[in-house]
Structure 1
């Protein structure tokens, strides 16, 4: 198969540092990765290590535990250096010999105490309004649809929990039905707490709960 006929290979990360990714074996273990995607709540140095070792784009949304940090040498660090924050953005990734891939990102979790990156469902809906207007324009006039919907929190009723912190967003369900991405990838729901990590199908979209890492492929 020629390079022109190949799809995308994506390394998706979330919530837990994995030793194999934070080691010298990373490059040999994950060959031919087109880009890295983080669904949040991972240390900035970890993401920077993955980015520089694989030397491919790294896109991310913030999790509910991601914070600005103050280093011992007096620096203020608000994001992983070299990575692209796609929170509340429509981001089209273009690489040689690949069809363009369109991602939509929404970081944060359900509001449960008023800290950074927490939203009520109504607040999340408001964050999505402008995105959906632009996506409709893209679909009609550029013939471009959403390939990947990237969030930290889950959608309501899919991989989510009963407590306020881990409840999913109702607003995500409508977005998925209208935009029909190939994948919805999210983090936040740790299997060590008993949450389901099996892939789920919602209408035309496959939903993945990412914990640690997964490899995704999107066909040409």
Structure 2
């Protein structure tokens, strides 16, 4: 399965310089937030595949103008081609905005998902806006990651943990990835192409 993941900025490759040949064979789009809803809807329409998203801390417009044809997976676990995918929106609390959470709030959201995760045998791909604590994150209040994400990774061992929020530029796609146990934690700032073997799904 070929996944396009996106977050945080509008890139020319997916807007005014879009070339469908570069994205041939994409099966699924995952958005990690802080993206204009019109941009998401346009990408989904151009590639004509499902698009699942979580909101970032700046996605206040989504409440009244959600991206057309796209599916919000915040606090949901869904199946796509045998892969179990879950989503968690938002950043750490820093100024009281509506898509910001304190550590205990994120921990509670994960706890509420636990019965479904156990029932479905775990999760293969986690989609978030913020990163796990001490993995790709920073020390300012806004850009600290969540400790509860590390516990989620430790408990369920997803194949991939895909996040945005941390603006960084990469000269090679391998620079986006940090291995935490057996989980590939990926900073998808801008966009990233990921190929996943169907045999990896349980």
TM-score, length basis structure 1: 0.84
What 5-or-longer segments of structure 1 have no aligned partner?
1-7, 70-75, 95-99, 140-144
Query: Is the 2:12–2:18 Cα contact (8 Å) retained in structure 1?
Result: no
1:135-150 to structure 2, matched below 5 A, reads 135-139=117-121, 145-150=122-127
Query: Is the 2:6–2:191 Cα contact (8 Å) retained in structure 1?
Result: yes
**Dislocated runs of 4+, deviation >6 Å:** none
The correspondence for 1:9, drawn from 2, 5, 11, is 2
The yes-or-no answer on 1:186 pairing with 2:173 is: no
Based on CA coordinates, which of the two structures has the bigger radius of gyration? Answer: 1
Query: Is the 2:32–2:129 Cα contact (8 Å) retained in structure 1?
Result: yes
Partner of 2:32: 39
Distance 2:162 2:97 in 1: 23
Helix, strand or coil for the counterpart of 2:137? coil
Distance 2:95 2:134 in 1: 22
Aligned-pair CA distance for 1:191: 1.4
Partner of 2:75: 88
Query: Is the 1:17–1:42 Cα contact (8 Å) retained in structure 2?
Result: yes
Distance 2:17 2:166 in 1: 28
TM-score, length basis structure 2: 0.91
The yes-or-no answer on 1:105 pairing with 2:83 is: no
Aligned-pair CA distance for 1:212: 0.5
Deviations 1:121-163 (A, max 9, x none): 0000011112112111211xxxxx3110110000000001000
Aligned-pair CA distance for 1:11: 0.3
Partner of 2:145: 168
Partner of 2:193: 215
Aligned-pair CA distance for 1:24: 6.2
Distance 1:108 1:90 in 2: 17
Partner of 1:58: 51
Deviations 1:43-89 (A, max 9, x none): 111111100011000000000000127xxxxxx83310100000111
The yes-or-no answer on 1:151 pairing with 2:151 is: no
Helix, strand or coil for the counterpart of 1:155? coil
Q: How many residues align?
A: 193
**CA 1:26 to 1:131, structure 2 compared with 1: closer, same or farther past 3 Å?**
farther
Helix, strand or coil for the counterpart of 2:84? strand
Query: Is the 1:161–1:167 Cα contact (8 Å) retained in structure 2?
Result: yes
